[in-house]
Amino acid sequence: MADGGPAFIRAAIASLFLLLNSVEAPAQGSRGTIRPSRIFTISGQVSLPNGQPAGGVLVKIISRAGTPREVFTTDSGRFEFTAMDEGEYVLTAKSLADATLVSDPVSTETGRTATGNINVSIVLREHPNGENRKPGVVNVGEIGQKIPKDAQKAFGQGLKFKDNKDMINALESFSRAIDLYPQFIQAFTERGDVYVYQRKLNDAFADFESAILINPHYAPALRGAGYCRLENKDFEAAIRYFEDSLSADPTDARTHLLLGIANLQLDRRDAARASLLKALSFNPPPLRAHVHLANLYAKEHHYKEAVEELRKYLDAEPTIPDRAELESVEAKWRALAESP
């Protein structure tokens, strides 16, 4: 791996914090920041099993890149996600007041509209025996939450500021939500995400830990704490957090990816391979997993497989800012694969 390998590892690790947040950092490089040609609004209605509006319900949307966003529904059950990029999305909803009420996943894609507006209907369902398919996401810590409306409003404002990359106001809004409701697990986690974006990892870790103290099985906070440990190169601790997060929510593709990255840093190749392949098995998958899997193959001197894996990523993401750097590595690996 002397031929360009270490530089490739650094390039792969440098993009890590984009995996954690729903907000993307401004891209740097000779190609500049890539912006989609169109933006979309995805809105809709969440209903209770009896057809009545479901107010105060948490709605989550996740993109092909695996970056989630969350909002609370209004009293009339309405929700809205603005400034969405082109692509495929999966939405889910859950009641924080009643853990038995969760929705089935609802898929949509921007290609279904010519106006830029997409309407989605979500219905909460009661699950058998009062069980939720993601007990680590909605469990005792969250079930007991009776979030005041002022705190919900501040939290919703924080999400909008965060989506618009207004991190100063996002931080103030999440802090206000926490002041109004000190047990606000999601607000601690979102504020931790903002601190990650600002590269204040100690503050971020403290917020994730605050959320974990309230609910030790809250998967997003466990993932965030693991990410902070990963950035600080405490890979063993990062792995423990990621494994705990996946015990709570085994369906989060980004956490499988991050676990794979942490194991790869410790040269635990079999564990890394299993996690990266698992991440890519989801729909939508975190495409950057192809880069780390390619890097693993290169470590094993399987350059043909490394080139094939990296090419999958480059074909799927033609406008990535670091494309030139990755193509340079691809060329070196291709030469190694074709050498006698």
Does 51 reside within a domain?
no
Does 220 reside within a domain?
yes
CA distance 81 to 246: 26
CATH of the domain at 240: 1.25.40.10
Does 62 reside within a domain?
no
Q: Which domain holds residue 16?
A: 5-27+135-338
Q: What is the pLDDT of residues 242-277, one digit of tens each?
A: 999 999 888 888 899 999 999 999 999 999 999 999
Does 283 reside within a domain?
yes
CA distance 302 to 69: 37
Does 113 reside within a domain?
no
Question: How many separate domains does the chain show?
Answer: 1
Q: Cβ contacts of residue 194 below 8 Å, gap of 6+?
A: 162, 167, 170, 171, 174
* Band of residue 128 on the pLDDT scale cut at 50, 70, 90: low
Mean pLDDT of 134-155: 62
Does 303 reside within a domain?
yes
Which pLDDT score, from 0 to 100, does residue 190 have?
92
Alpha carbon 142 to its chain centroid, in Å, reads 20
Q: With beta carbons less than 8 A apart as the criterion, state whether 327 and 311 touch.
A: no
Q: What is the pTM of this model?
A: 0.70
| Structure tokens, 211 | 């959320």
